[in-house]
Copies of this chain bind each other. A is one copy, B any other.
Amino acid sequence: MSRPVDKYGKLGDAAFSRMEKVNADLFLLTYGSLVTQLLKDMEDAEAVNAQLDKMGYNIGLRLIDEFLAKSGVTACQDFRETAEVVAKVGLRMFLGVGAEVVMWNKEMTACSLVLAENPLAEYVELPANLVNKLWYSNLLCGVIRGCLEQLQLRVECRFEKDALQGDDQTMIRLELKEVLHEEYDDDD
């Protein structure tokens, strides 16, 4: 049996090496400035989570083009494969680190992505009043949601654990809600 995990791991590595890149610390500090600014604007952590998700969604809508052009991935057969590609190719290609896919539900429509590292949150410490409230890296969930929606997959994507909150790992829950169909105009 072929091992899709290894295949995608290699694709992810190759795609990352081809990408234009910038320093990870410059990125994480810039992202930190963004989160800080939102906290100043909104005060309520819930609203910041939502805004980060929305910003990520808009980024995802655009980033998918680069993914399709440069990842070397062709169409996925099912959601299981899609999740592997998100974890091994997508995250690796853009963040430089991949994830493991675990905890599938019986229907194979929902799984969790475990991030070994999180380049958005290195050196970050949450102030006590934001623990269990702010999902600091929520932009990521939005990016995944935006990318997949461009591929006609409506998903829910949210953090379920975050090492920043003191959890033992950083984990994103990814759930397929609907396969969208492109609408064609009768006149075409």
Minimum CB–CB distance from A17 to chain B (whole Å) comes to 10
Q: Are A20 and B59 in contact (CB under 8 A)?
A: no
> How many copies of this chain?
2
Which single member of B27, B33, B41 contacts A27 (CB below 8 Å)? B27
Q: Are A93 and B23 in contact (CB under 8 A)?
A: yes
Residue A181 interfacial (CB < 8 Å): no
Residue A21 interfacial (CB < 8 Å): yes
Which single member of B19, B21, B37 contacts A34 (CB below 8 Å)? B37
Minimum CB–CB distance from A66 to chain B (whole Å) comes to 6
Q: Are B139 and A20 in contact (CB under 8 A)?
A: no
Residue A55 interfacial (CB < 8 Å): yes
Question: What are 5 A-B pairs at a CB distance below 8 A?
Answer: A20-B96, A21-B23, A26-B27, A33-B55, A34-B34
Residue A176 interfacial (CB < 8 Å): no
- Known: A22-B24, A23-B93, A24-B22. Contact between A59 and B41, CB under 8 A? no
Q: Which residues in B have their C-beta under 8 angstroms from that of A177?
A: none
Tell me the count of chain A residues lying within 8 A, CB to CB, of chain B: 32
Q: Which of A39-78 contact B (CB under 8 A)?
A: 41, 51, 55, 58-59, 62-63, 66
Q: Which residues in B have their C-beta under 8 angstroms from that of A20?
A: 23-25, 96, 119
Residue A169 interfacial (CB < 8 Å): no
- Known: A30-B34, A31-B30. Contact between A22 and B59, CB under 8 A? no
- Known: A37-B37, A37-B38. Contact between A19 and B24, CB under 8 A? yes
